[in-house]
Amino acid sequence: MSISVKDLRPSNVTPVPLSALVDGWALNSSPDWNGVEVYGVTVDSHDVAEGEVFVAIPGARAHGAQFASKAVKAGAVAVVTDRDGAELLSSEVELGVPVVEVADPRAVAAPLAARAYGNPAERMKLVGVTGTNGKTTTSFASFAALEQAGENPLIFCTAEIRLGDVSIYPERTTMEGPVIQRILALGLEQGCRSAVIEVSAHAISLHRIQGMKFDVVTFLNLQHDHLDYYHTMDNYFAAKARLCSSEFTRRAVICVDDQWGQRLAAQCDVPFVTYSAYDPQAKADWTVLEKSWDLDTISTDVVLASQSAAAPSSSVKLSVPVPGEVNVQNAVAAYLMTTWGLGLSADQVIAGIKRLSVPGRMTIMSTRDQRRPLVIVDFAHTPEALESVLRTVRELTPGRLIVVFGTDGDRDASKRPDVGRVAAENADILWVTDENPRYEDPVQVRGQLLEGIRKVRPELKDVIEVITCRRDAIREAIRSAQVADTVMITGKGNEHYQEFNGVMHPFEDTIVSAEVLDAIFPLD
């Protein structure tokens, strides 16, 4: 049986009176609130259980209040909304449940849910991870360390929500606040003592983690992405930086390898440590002195500078079974968060990170010792991430480096020419195809990638544009490869779908590439 987020609800919820639930936020009151008991909170009219409050949020295309009747029919016992929503509902004479007016329903949705589920985040160790690139790998490394230490963690990230034996593949990096709160409550019921949450800038700006206080968080980097929403890098930074403030955390681990990390360290108002993965001479509490990688491991030595008291010993060696220089940064962040931030044993953390497995991140589908080309699937989808993985893989490639890539529709279009340029500068053969066009014309999306490619290759030498069919691009790229070549399939990682015009079509790069390899390069 398929399990979705809608199936994850705690079973032992103590009901909260509606008046107590909305106390401090409600702008109105009514006798008809008396006797109404609440068992949960949701912002999705498709995801309502009996006894829950539906929070009707104004959206880009419609106001959530327009779906209140549907929520009530599904079991909602009250609606929380703003003044506009309340006015929309004033004509709903058949609604039959109380309407509570608040100033900003989006801002109160997560705190309401926390109150409804007994503030589960306050009873767990919480780890938060933010940055443009590397969040998922860092989250899984932290998860592995916590698991090794017996903390029975759960994880929320782009690649997966994992709770015990249950794995669910989410549609966004950070779930809506009420979903996070109820899964934390379910985790407590199942004996979870900790949680790792990948926190996007949107999650902070849209109040999905409002009211939560992390024990430790990390800031990895800030690179070109999401400027369709934030418009400037300063705005994007301001959103990310909030996670490392006393509003959301008790401690912070900050990578100072870019100007944004350095800027954050200068303004951070909670106890923090800094590290550099790339500059041994950096002014940081931790620096990486040595790093090496192959198809099996990264070995990283981290040395504590004399001005810090964060380390019990002078050096630590981490072995991470995910190749790539970018994963040095991720492993160090996870190590510092779980040792310095949470107080876990260094030996347990090192052992946990050594067992790291990350869905769709530098996933090796075939190796040369199988008399196949090296084929790797990775999520890299920003210019910086793509450049990092291609440079890493170039060092492992005696032949040609072939890349299959695209970029998302209805997302930051300003980065597309740079993605194309980076691919043209760092790979030999380019297969340009689609990722998730969504509602945008795929020809337009690919055209903006080709615009960047032409800056490097005006004649589009060794550039093949595949119209729409990503499966064809993967198949033909692998078919064209020799054993000495490497095929990098980037942009989607372990996503389980392709989105066209609002429809999710089942598709996974790892499954498709495995099928193609078996057909073209069968094993003896």
Is 200 one of the annotated binding-site residues?
yes
Spatial contact of 417 and 386, defined as CB atoms under 8 Å apart: no
Instruction: Concatenate the DSSP letters of all residues of 83-147 into one string.
Output: HHHHHHHTT-TT--S-EEE-S-HHHHHHHHHHHHTT-GGGGSEEEEEE-SSSHHHHHHHHHHHHH
Measured CA to CA, the distance from residue 45 to residue 81 in angstroms comes to 13
C-alpha pair distances (Å), 241 with each of 28, 54, 71, 100: 35, 31, 36, 33
Spatial contact of 475 and 481, defined as CB atoms under 8 Å apart: no
Measured CA to CA, the distance from residue 160 to residue 169 in angstroms comes to 5
Is 152 one of the annotated binding-site residues?
no
Is 433 one of the annotated binding-site residues?
no
Is 317 one of the annotated binding-site residues?
no
Is 173 one of the annotated binding-site residues?
yes
Q: Which residues contact 496 (CB under 8 A, 6 or more apart)?
A: 169, 506, 507, 508
Is 81 one of the annotated binding-site residues?
no
List the beta bridge partners of residue 291.
300
Measured CA to CA, the distance from residue 88 to residue 75 in angstroms comes to 20
Is 136 one of the annotated binding-site residues?
yes
Q: What H or E segment, with its residue span, contains residue 347?
A: helix 346-354
User: Which segments of 352-456 are extended strands (E)?
Assistant: 363-366, 374-378, 401-405, 429-432
Is 14 one of the annotated binding-site residues?
no
Tokens 């599904």 locate to 74
Provide Rg for the chain, Cα atoms. Answer: 24
Is 133 one of the annotated binding-site residues?
yes
Instruction: Concatenate the DSSP letters of all residues of 387-413 into one string.
Output: HHHHHHHHTT-SS-EEEEE---TTS-G
Is 352 one of the annotated binding-site residues?
no
Q: Which residues are annotated as a binding site for ATP?
A: 131-137
Residues tagged in the binding site annotation: 45, 131-137, 173-174, 200, 208
